[in-house]
Structure 1
Amino acid sequence: MLKQKATAKIKARYAFVVVVVLCVVIGYAAYRQIFDREIEKETARHRQNLETVSLSINATLSKYEELPLAIAKDSRIHAALEATATDKTIAQANEYLAEINRILGTDTIYIMNRDGLTLASSNWDQSDSYVGDNYSFRPYFKGAIESGIGKFYGIGVASGKPGYYIACPVFVGGQTLGVITIKIRLSEIQSAIGEFNDYLLVTNEDGIVILSSEASQLYKSTRLLSPEARQKITATRQFYDQPLDAFQFHGTALTIDDDNERQLLNGEAYLVQSVPLGGRGWDIVQISRTREARTFALNGSGAIGFAAGFLMISLLIWYYRRAAHREKLEIFANIETQIQDRTIELTAKIHDLEKAESILKKTRDDAVQAGKLAVLGQMAAGVTHELSQPLSAIQLYAGNTKKLIECGNLPLACENIDSINALVTRAGTILSELKTLYRNDETRVEPIALNTIIQNAVLVMNPFIRKANIRLDIVGLDALVMSSTGKLEQVFINLMSNSVDALALLPDGVIEIRCTRIKDSVVVRYADNGPGITESANDKIFEPFYTTKPSGKGLGLGLAISKFIVDAIGGKIECHNLSTGGLEFIIVLRHADKPT
């Protein structure tokens, strides 16, 4: 038997190891499936965003493409390109180009003859003037002469500033006299890219970064440059003296090409994807974190792995229980004779148990009845305590109202009558709540405005507070707390009643109520500057029938009922003496926004 049990334990351990391994495998497979699906969703969403950005950038650049042709039609441009051009015609062309450049907000506008020599420019009067420079080596000049339009991104040879060049030929009488070029600053596009939360960059046809949300990555190469490409860049002086180093992202080399529009980087921590930008051969690339996809996949795979493990463990438990059941059947078959011999004895014991159960049931019923009688006794004391404050307040209001009517002050008398009505309603609510407590109904907890609760309690206690010449200082909080209608008001009434008794003989009594929000809770600090309580009394302050007041001044139920109410609505209440003198109660309530 012992050998069989040892073998069963070994098998159970092996089965547990197999379950763990299977859970890991299933979890990993689920992770891959969920992660790949989330990456597909993010890719589609990012592609839509990138295409929108691409359209915006392309539209910004395209609006300038027709401008060179329009400017080239001006007679001053024609006169400057004629072989008979004079200093005056050149000067007029310079002034015209400067004025147009100012209006359009472009970087530079200039004209070149058929040999690429700059004859007039909008920056003719500046230190980096293009006049006299030859740009026949630039691709935009060749494109304009050969195909009617030239487009090119590069760093200015004279200015050292990057820009986008658009060039068109200047025709007069069917002959090409030269080329007009507009240089556009891309600073606005650069600023817009820099505002994106994700890493965004634009590469040209050779994979060189020409715009980036991270300035340190400008002019880095995102693909391996062929010797022909490097020779072309050098010949056109496209990037001046930039080294064109390989693009590095967080220490990892990144290659972006047309055959690999989407890839994962740094252990799948980043998603890299690109879309074409218009027909220029450029691409716009976005590098975004995959944290949300990985977190979602981890949570999903963890849940699936846990569910699979739970199912397999349940099956193992079922299997071992069936095996144990079969073993028990075998044992029962061997002791069938013994069972028959003990049947009479067991029958007698069952009879005894039934008799004991009947006695226990009667004892339990007697205990329940005794509990009800005890509750009735406490309820009688509670009714007296709960209704004492509202009835006393009504008595004071009624006396004042009579005097006000005799004095002819009817508006203030009406206000007192309204207060009496409110207190009568409050007394009715207290009776209803005590009736509910006696029936042992479930406390209905719902969102209630904290300021309203405090003001209702002040309404009851205000006559006593004013009579005792006590200053009431309340800093409320416009917040909803989880409470039960009429119950939390009784807590504050009990506290104010105790404070009135404690401060009655003090000339400068103060009651302070401070309400603050801390995370998902609302903390109410109720304090007075009375004598406080002893350390021994602090341990028993919330016990029923315990009181520090003189005989006949209280039953010791107020704070016990208050603690019962606060506990019933899911809060906490405690008290301590203040170092400056007085007693402070701290009531922690659930904020209505806190999930249950």
Structure 2
Amino acid sequence: MSIASFIRKYGLLLSSLVTVAFAVGIAGFRVSENLGLAELQRTGTQRLELYATSLNRQIDKYAYFPATLGLERDVIDLVAHGKPLTDTVNRYLEQLNQRAGTLSIYLLDRQGHVIAASNWNRPDSFIGEDLSYRSYFHESMQGRPGRLFGIGTTRGQPGYYLSSPLLAHGEVIGVAAVKVSLEQLEQSWATVEVPVIVTDQNGVVILASAPSWKFTTLRPLPDQERRRLERSLQYNARPLPSLGLTREEPFGENAALVRLAPQVDVVGSSRLSGNFLAQAAPMGDTGWSLTVLSPAGQVSAIAWTRAALASVASALVGIVLVLLDQRRRHLRDRLRAREALQRAHDELERKVEERTRTLRAAQDELVHAAKLATVGQISAGLAHEINQPLAALRTLSGNAVKFLRRGDVATAESNLDRIGSIVDGLGTLTNQLKSFARKSSGTSGPVDVRRAVDNALFLLDQRLRRANVAVSTEIEAEQVTALCDANRLEQVMVNLVANALDAIEGTASPTLRLHGWREGTRVVIEVRDNGPGLPEHVRAHLFEPFFTTKESNRGLGLGLAISLEIVHHFGGMLTGANHPKGGAVFTVTLPAADIGETPWATTSRS
């Protein structure tokens, strides 16, 4: 089937299957992706709660620490009355800072100047610094706890600032501040499975599991906002670049699909880029937001794989359904075709039997006609063979009458005996000719090959003597027995010997050699002459009907074709070739009869 015909026949069906498979694949992708993202969201929610708990625990550990400083009488006296107690308070704050594990603890007066600090004896001490610009100072001066994550202007060290107002007689007389490091928490986050970030109220990343993400922004900052943050010194003049996080599609409550672009010149940024499911949660009253970024690339890959499998499965199901329908139609058409074929077969069997009978009858007629043609060819020689005995009969019978009249009974009896012998000879000749000319049944039986060869030579004896042919026969009588029909074997041998006589006509010393022997389960008969042999163009058409090299009045070219058909009928072979020593040789191969069977000897003389 050509491609064009295939497309015409199955084009619409294939396009329908492709469309259905594509639709199933898209639907499967959507369903699989939504299920995968839902599972990812559940896992992200658990992680979000876990990270929020750890962050709140870290912050709450120091939440009430600044307020406890207001319980110390020395701290209140120093802030309220001046410096006589500065050394005592500084040492107290230093010891307290060491035991609490904070970065620094310090006290501010009403003007925002540091009057005591835990790092009082270090070169980078806070004492004397004006921190009135810090937001936590203003919040505490208004009587509220202050909270701020920023970068110190002295040492440039980031930390979380907690402040509390110092009260005396119900009046705010100063501020106590504690700076806490969250690096330990960040270090624990560095080993988590998914990225996590904490942003402050300005949208600046202040904590992150990836160090390169710190002090970046979730979105590009407007110029006005950037200048305000620079004036506040909260981030100590950090450039605050954008993280490169792009929101693509919301997914449920407090979740969205985002895309994170790779950061330039950051080692390992390709691992922290791609598609993520972002889930955010506020951090109490701090104004912070905790965000977990769950990688969604694997979910999409799995969804595409499942979509491909769904498409293939739907295509296979469609193909199976189509094949089943085609099979049903094929079986129905096959049943109809089988019924029609059976009817045609029955009709053909009837015609074949009829034609076989006709052809068999025609073949038998053709074989018999070939025998009659052979009889016609040898009739001239037989007429000469019969004329001489007839003349002798006339002479001997006339002499016998004369001798009887004279009373010479003995001589008359001698003539009559000779007449009887001549009549017997004529009877043998006519019986042999009659046996050869009669129709044969064609049934197989054991045949003495020597007897068949002798009968054939007897029929052609006149031609052999007239051509002065030297005949050599090498066949053991009653030892070489073939399984065939005696009459038809004689016909084959007559045809082969007659062809050999035609071939050696005009040869100086014509010779004919007939050799027969048994070879295993086969009997082989060779007819060889010493003529010019078979030309190459003759060998190619040797057994074709009506092919002959003789003159038109000497045959129709059916002798070898009929002989080949006779030999094939009995399961044998007939071949013709040139002998290495010259001349042509025809070989007849027939099945050998069982040794225990009696040779067919009566057919040739019937």
Q: TM-score, normalised by structure 1?
A: 0.52
Could you say if the C-alpha distance between residues 150 and 279 of structure 1 is closer, same or farther in structure 2, counting changes exceeding 3 Å?
same
For 1:257 and 1:335, the matched residues in 2 are separated by: 67
Deviations 1:335-372 (A, max 9, x none): 56435557999xxxxxxxxxxxxxxxxxxxxxxxxxxx
Q: Is the contact made by 1:262 and 1:274 (CA closer than 8 Å) also made in structure 2?
A: no
- SS of 2:327's equivalent in the other structure is helix
For 1:201 and 1:7, the matched residues in 2 are separated by: 63
For 2:321 and 2:251, the matched residues in 1 are separated by: 51
Could you say if the C-alpha distance between residues 44 and 147 of structure 1 is closer, same or farther in structure 2, counting changes exceeding 3 Å?
farther
- The residue that corresponds to 2:42 in the other structure is 44
Q: Is the contact made by 1:108 and 1:183 (CA closer than 8 Å) also made in structure 2?
A: yes
Match of 2:214 among 207, 211, 218: 218
Q: Is 2:165 aligned against 1:166?
A: no
Q: Shift of the alpha carbon at 1:78?
A: 1.2
AA paired with 1:310? L
AA paired with 1:262? A
For 2:70 and 2:111, the matched residues in 1 are separated by: 17
Q: Is the contact made by 2:282 and 2:289 (CA closer than 8 Å) also made in structure 1?
A: yes
Q: Is 2:310 aligned against 1:314?
A: no
For 1:256 and 1:15, the matched residues in 2 are separated by: 39
For 1:79 and 1:46, the matched residues in 2 are separated by: 51
- The residue that corresponds to 2:280 in the other structure is 274
1:514-533 counterparts in 2 under 5 A?
none
Could you say if the C-alpha distance between residues 326 and 307 of structure 1 is closer, same or farther in structure 2, counting changes exceeding 3 Å?
same
Q: Shift of the alpha carbon at 1:137?
A: 1.1
AA paired with 1:261? A
Q: Shift of the alpha carbon at 1:268?
A: 6.7
Q: Shift of the alpha carbon at 1:20?
A: 3.0
Match of 2:122 among 122, 126, 138: 126
- The residue that corresponds to 1:201 in the other structure is 197
Q: Is the contact made by 2:256 and 2:278 (CA closer than 8 Å) also made in structure 1?
A: yes
- The residue that corresponds to 1:178 in the other structure is 174
Could you say if the C-alpha distance between residues 155 and 254 of structure 1 is closer, same or farther in structure 2, counting changes exceeding 3 Å?
farther
Could you say if the C-alpha distance between residues 184 and 169 of structure 1 is closer, same or farther in structure 2, counting changes exceeding 3 Å?
same
Q: Shift of the alpha carbon at 1:260?
A: 6.1
1:50-65 counterparts in 2 under 5 A?
50-65=48-63
AA paired with 1:59? R
Could you say if the C-alpha distance between residues 257 and 300 of structure 1 is closer, same or farther in structure 2, counting changes exceeding 3 Å?
closer
Could you say if the C-alpha distance between residues 34 and 172 of structure 1 is closer, same or farther in structure 2, counting changes exceeding 3 Å?
same
Q: Is 2:291 aligned against 1:285?
A: yes
Match of 1:188 among 171, 184, 190: 184
For 1:256 and 1:60, the matched residues in 2 are separated by: 31
Q: Is the contact made by 1:247 and 1:253 (CA closer than 8 Å) also made in structure 2?
A: no
Could you say if the C-alpha distance between residues 8 and 189 of structure 1 is closer, same or farther in structure 2, counting changes exceeding 3 Å?
closer
Q: Is the contact made by 2:66 and 2:163 (CA closer than 8 Å) also made in structure 1?
A: yes
For 1:193 and 1:102, the matched residues in 2 are separated by: 25
1:538-553 counterparts in 2 under 5 A?
none
Q: Shift of the alpha carbon at 1:42?
A: 0.8
Q: Shift of the alpha carbon at 1:254?
A: 9.5
1:8-19 counterparts in 2 under 5 A?
10-19=8-17
Q: Shift of the alpha carbon at 1:235?
A: 3.2
Could you say if the C-alpha distance between residues 334 and 220 of structure 1 is closer, same or farther in structure 2, counting changes exceeding 3 Å?
same
- SS of 2:88's equivalent in the other structure is helix
Q: Is the contact made by 1:247 and 1:254 (CA closer than 8 Å) also made in structure 2?
A: no
- SS of 2:105's equivalent in the other structure is strand
Q: Is the contact made by 2:249 and 2:257 (CA closer than 8 Å) also made in structure 1?
A: no
For 1:8 and 1:96, the matched residues in 2 are separated by: 95
For 2:204 and 2:41, the matched residues in 1 are separated by: 23
Q: Shift of the alpha carbon at 1:17?
A: 4.0
For 1:134 and 1:255, the matched residues in 2 are separated by: 47
Deviations 1:220-242 (A, max 9, x none): 11024345643442332100111
Q: Is 2:14 aligned against 1:20?
A: no
Q: Is 2:106 aligned against 1:110?
A: yes
For 2:24 and 2:251, the matched residues in 1 are separated by: 35
AA paired with 1:217? W
RMSD: 3.3
For 1:337 and 1:11, the matched residues in 2 are separated by: 30
Q: Is the contact made by 1:263 and 1:273 (CA closer than 8 Å) also made in structure 2?
A: no
Could you say if the C-alpha distance between residues 344 and 295 of structure 1 is closer, same or farther in structure 2, counting changes exceeding 3 Å?
farther
- SS of 2:318's equivalent in the other structure is helix
- The residue that corresponds to 2:558 in the other structure is none
AA paired with 2:76? H
- SS of 2:207's equivalent in the other structure is strand
Identity of aligned residues (%): 24
Q: Shift of the alpha carbon at 1:274?
A: 2.3
For 2:38 and 2:186, the matched residues in 1 are separated by: 28
Deviations 1:170-210 (A, max 9, x none): 11122211111011111111111112132222111111011
- The residue that corresponds to 2:73 in the other structure is 75
More off after superposition, 221-230 vs 281-290: 221-230
Could you say if the C-alpha distance between residues 343 and 71 of structure 1 is closer, same or farther in structure 2, counting changes exceeding 3 Å?
farther
Q: Is 2:259 aligned against 1:265?
A: yes
- The residue that corresponds to 2:242 in the other structure is 246
AA paired with 1:237? L
Q: Shift of the alpha carbon at 1:243?
A: 0.9
For 1:335 and 1:153, the matched residues in 2 are separated by: 95
- SS of 2:286's equivalent in the other structure is coil
For 1:344 and 1:28, the matched residues in 2 are separated by: 63
Match of 1:138 among 134, 147, 152: 134
Q: Is the contact made by 2:247 and 2:259 (CA closer than 8 Å) also made in structure 1?
A: no
- The residue that corresponds to 1:154 in the other structure is 150
For 2:17 and 2:97, the matched residues in 1 are separated by: 75
Q: Is the contact made by 2:247 and 2:258 (CA closer than 8 Å) also made in structure 1?
A: no
AA paired with 2:9? K
Structure 1 gaps of 5+ residues are 346-596
More off after superposition, 9-18 vs 197-206: 9-18
Q: Is the contact made by 1:222 and 1:254 (CA closer than 8 Å) also made in structure 2?
A: no
* Count of matched residue pairs: 340
Could you say if the C-alpha distance between residues 16 and 253 of structure 1 is closer, same or farther in structure 2, counting changes exceeding 3 Å?
closer
AA paired with 1:38? G
- SS of 1:181's equivalent in the other structure is strand
For 1:304 and 1:49, the matched residues in 2 are separated by: 32
Deviations 1:133-186 (A, max 9, x none): 111111100111114211111001122111111111111122211111011111
Q: Shift of the alpha carbon at 1:97?
A: 1.0
For 1:57 and 1:179, the matched residues in 2 are separated by: 25
Q: Is the contact made by 1:65 and 1:166 (CA closer than 8 Å) also made in structure 2?
A: yes
For 1:253 and 1:305, the matched residues in 2 are separated by: 30
- The residue that corresponds to 2:365 in the other structure is none
More off after superposition, 224-233 vs 159-168: 224-233
Q: Is the contact made by 2:47 and 2:292 (CA closer than 8 Å) also made in structure 1?
A: no
Q: Is the contact made by 1:277 and 1:284 (CA closer than 8 Å) also made in structure 2?
A: yes
Q: Is the contact made by 1:155 and 1:239 (CA closer than 8 Å) also made in structure 2?
A: yes
For 1:230 and 1:201, the matched residues in 2 are separated by: 21
For 1:269 and 1:188, the matched residues in 2 are separated by: 28
Could you say if the C-alpha distance between residues 89 and 148 of structure 1 is closer, same or farther in structure 2, counting changes exceeding 3 Å?
same
- SS of 1:279's equivalent in the other structure is helix
Larger radius of gyration: 2
AA paired with 1:304? A
AA paired with 1:265? R
1:467-482 counterparts in 2 under 5 A?
none
For 2:316 and 2:281, the matched residues in 1 are separated by: 45
Could you say if the C-alpha distance between residues 153 and 110 of structure 1 is closer, same or farther in structure 2, counting changes exceeding 3 Å?
same
